[in-house]
Structure 1
Amino acid sequence: MARIAVITHEFDRFLGWGGLLLRRGSPYMLFDLMGELKRRGHSVQIIKGTSAKPEADVAVLHVDATVTPPEYVEYARGFPFCLNIGAADISKRRVSGAVIGRDDGWPGPVIVKSNLNNLGTRERTLNRRSRRAGKPEPFPGAEVLDRYRIHASLADVPPAVFDRQDLVVEKFVPEPDPDGFGARFWLFCGERERCTRHVSPQSLVKGEDTIRREPVPVPDELRALRRELGFDYGKFDFVMHEGRAVLLDANKTPGSVGNLSAFLAAGNANLADGFEGLIRKVT
């Protein structure tokens, strides 16, 4: 049995308000995955910050921020093996296959997003908790975007948007479906995975709007991109456009809340098998 350490930001609430690994309340999918591994006999320790020096065989770098602070990456290197140490940066400019510039010849609609994951809300939350604790903000200057904005063409995007480092402009390429639009979600841990197409009447497909789900294969180009981005565990959101996969979002700390909670939890045993497969490779 392995000793597992989960590295979280000092001001993350990985355990929610419950405080115990086997109690409900965490917003993260990894919480349930660790619970399954603990039931299988592995030991799990949640580390807040970088001061502890636990004995562990394998660690998971699970800092819920777009760019993991360098001190956490360096701390993670002190473990014999650490999942996702190569996935420290999931900013849209690094991961998205739809980002375009003002001079690109894209003729269709576009969408303006935050370069930060989840509109920048995680950085805002960690900054607020740090200030309350009397410590410096870990992400000074992080801006929160209130919502995505869709424009009919590049020409309709305000010029100032292209000068802002906190914003990106992407091709807006929803995947058409007879019932609306589709989006694909690939969950993986090691060699175990689940890839599902969700259909919604809305062009921005969200969990609460899903009216149908179906399993779909993982495109080879996404597998190559996963290796390039350094992901051992996580979730990729993508669409198929003109026969090719377009990655829209890569998440190293996927959540397990809302209407998708039961759907995500249903695959925990499979993902736990994938985690144990990684353990066997390094122990």
Structure 2
Amino acid sequence: MSHIVVITHEHDRFLGKRNLMLRRGSPYLLFDVLEQLKRRGHSVRIQQGPSKIYNADIAVLHVDATVTPADHVDYAKGFAFCLNVGASDISKRRISGALISEGDAWQGPVIVKSDLNNRGIPETLLNRRSRRAGKPPPFPHLPTLQPYEVYGSLGEVPDGIFGNDDLVVEKFIPEREPDGFAARFWVFCGERERCTRYVSPNSLVKASETIRREPVPVPDEMRERRRELGFDYGKFDFVLHEGRAILLDANKTPGRPQSLAKMFAAGAADLADGFEGFIRQAR
């Protein structure tokens, strides 16, 4: 039995809200993993924001923001064993393998995205909750939320995009299928993992909007990127393009889409096995 501490932002709603059955829900996959661990006898404490207390056998840095604030990282480093300390920055400029510049020779379609993860929505929510609590926003200089935009070529990208530090331009390279588009999602915790290829009628593939899915192997390139980016737990979104695995998104606080909640919960036991592998290392 071990004591686990989950480090979140002060205004992050990791536990979600109680529903009509007085049960806790959560937007995060880690919630399901922790429920499994509690059933196995481990104790869990949610630490909202840095503290002076370091009483835990193992900790997880789980701040839902593109760049984890430095004080949270410093607090996490105070634990003898803490997951994802090295994965504190998941900005597109750091993680994406599809970035292109204005003078690139790429002839295909491109997509313009926010440099922030998930268009900066997590930071926007944290700012809103902070203001409601009468405190200054933790991310005061956020850009205006913008949808992802796909263009047929680099020449169609509007002026000023490449000079905007808040935006990035990527090759638009979903895997094309006769009935849609495909992307691959690799979820992992320690040595336990699942990797699934999802096919969607939409060119921007989301796991919650798919017509079929199938398990696929994890390419060596993705395992190497995971080591480089310092991920112990998380989710990578990638595609195979011209025989190479290309990372598009890396998430250190992966969610659990409501439409796939049962499927995600069913796989949580295996991820909990991976978490217990870290617990054994910590000992």
Q: Which residue of 1 aligns with 2:149?
A: 149
TM-score for the superposition, normalised by structure 2: 0.96
Structure 2 alignment gaps of length 5 or more: none
- Give the whole-Å Cα distance in 1 for the aligned partners of 2:99 and 2:238: 13
What does 1:99-110 correspond to in 2, within 5 Å? 99-110=99-110
Structure 1 alignment gaps of length 5 or more: none
Q: Which residue of 2 aligns with 1:82?
A: 82
- Give the whole-Å Cα distance in 2 for the aligned partners of 1:124 and 1:272: 30
Alpha-carbon deviation of 1:160?
0.6
- Give the whole-Å Cα distance in 1 for the aligned partners of 2:164 and 2:86: 26
Alpha-carbon deviation of 1:144?
3.9
Q: Which residue of 1 aligns with 2:185?
A: 185
Q: Which amino acid aligns with 1:95?
A: I
1:70 equivalent to 2:91? Answer no
Identity of paired residues, percent? Answer: 68
**Contact preservation (8 Å) 1:189, 1:232:** yes
**Contact preservation (8 Å) 2:114, 2:146:** no
1:234 equivalent to 2:229? Answer no
Q: Which residue of 2 aligns with 1:116?
A: 116
**Greater alpha carbon shift after TM alignment, 115-124 vs 44-53:** 44-53
Segments of 4+ moved more than 6 angstroms: none
- Give the whole-Å Cα distance in 2 for the aligned partners of 1:15 and 1:54: 21
**Contact preservation (8 Å) 1:124, 1:144:** no
What does 1:44-55 correspond to in 2, within 5 Å? 44-55=44-55
Alpha-carbon deviation of 1:263?
2.2
Aligned residues: 281
1:256 equivalent to 2:256? Answer yes
Match of 2:11, SS state, is coil
**Contact preservation (8 Å) 1:238, 1:247:** yes
Provide closer, same or farther for how the CA distance between residues 162 and 237 of structure 1 changes in structure 2, counting only shifts above 3 A: same
Alpha-carbon deviation of 1:54?
4.4
- Give the whole-Å Cα distance in 2 for the aligned partners of 1:54 and 1:81: 11
Aligned-pair RMSD on alpha carbons? 1.4
**Contact preservation (8 Å) 2:236, 2:249:** yes
- Give the whole-Å Cα distance in 2 for the aligned partners of 1:51 and 1:191: 30
- Give the whole-Å Cα distance in 1 for the aligned partners of 2:209 and 2:83: 32
Q: Which residue of 2 aligns with 1:57?
A: 57
TM-score for the superposition, normalised by structure 1: 0.96
